[in-house]
């Protein structure tokens, strides 16, 4: 009887260890921080806003992000919400609607490794008229959420190394940057 119990416990421990080794690492939900800044606070309607957007790994372990997640879209990737000081939504001449292609199997450079303390970002020039239609004071809120789901990665990239790495996916929480305030003059 003792041998049976010992054998059972040994098999259970081994099965648990195998299950643990097949588990896909998930990034810490607090590992990424989104920072956005503009080149100045006051613009004219004819100006361009120089905007830098960065994802910083403030965690203790590596996090991988998909390069295409840093494109502007109303729902996923980088999203920009412009409002008046009283909270009314504002729209300009453009809809930022980047729709990235799906990741390709074997294209490892599409995924960016962010070690702790490292950042990755983009610098854009955006026409003021693309985000607002008239002079005034405005708030700019920016969020980040991945286009990719873990199930998409598992299904279409199952043979790629990224499937076993801590990739930031849409299952992680949306990250919000500190609110920006700009003034637009005629």
Question: Is 3 contained in some domain?
Answer: no
Question: Is 14 contained in some domain?
Answer: no
Measure the CA–CA gap between 162 and 107, rounded to whole angstroms: 10
- pLDDT for 78: 97
DSSP 36-62: EEES-SEEETT-EEEEEEEEEE-SSS-
Question: Is 18 contained in some domain?
Answer: no
Q: Rounded to the nearest 5 degrees, what angle is found at the Cα of 14, between the Cα atoms of 10 and 15?
A: 115
Report the predicted TM-score, pTM, of the whole model to 2 decimal places. 0.85
- pLDDT for 11: 43
Question: Is 142 contained in some domain?
Answer: yes
The domain total for the chain is 1
Determine the length of the chain.
Answer: 186
Which tokens belong to 108?
């490892």
Question: Is 20 contained in some domain?
Answer: no
- pLDDT for 13: 43
Find the DSSP H helices in the chain: 2-21, 128-131, 150-156
Measure the CA–CA gap between 171 and 183, rounded to whole angstroms: 35
- pLDDT for 19: 44
Spans of the chain below 70 pLDDT: 1-22
Question: Is 161 contained in some domain?
Answer: yes
The parent domain of residue 70 ranges over: 27-185
CATH number at residue 136: 2.60.40.2970
Question: Is 120 contained in some domain?
Answer: yes
Question: Is 13 contained in some domain?
Answer: no
């Amino acid at each position: 009887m003792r041998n049976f119990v010992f054998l059972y416990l040994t098999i259970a421990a081994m099965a648990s260890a195998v299950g643990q080794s097949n588990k896909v690492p998930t990034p810490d939900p607090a590992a990424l921080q989104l920072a956005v800044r503009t080149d100045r606070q006051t613009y004219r309607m004819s100006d361009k806003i120089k905007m830098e957007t960065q994802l910083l790994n403030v965690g203790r372990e590596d996090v991988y992000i998909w390069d295409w997640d840093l494109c502007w879209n109303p729902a996923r990737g980088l999203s920009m919400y412009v409002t008046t000081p009283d909270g009314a939504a504002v729209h300009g001449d453009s809809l930022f609607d980047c729709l990235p292609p799906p990741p390709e199997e074997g294209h490892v450079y599409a995924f960016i490794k962010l070690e702790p303390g490292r950042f990755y970002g983009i610098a854009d020039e955006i026409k003021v008229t693309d985000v607002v239609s008239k002079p005034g004071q405005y708030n700019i809120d920016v969020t980040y959420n991945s286009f990719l789901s873990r199930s998409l990665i598992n299904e279409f990239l199952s043979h790629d190394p990224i499937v076993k790495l801590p990739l930031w996916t849409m299952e992680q929480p949306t990250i919000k940057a500190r609110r920006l305030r700009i003034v637009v003059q005629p």
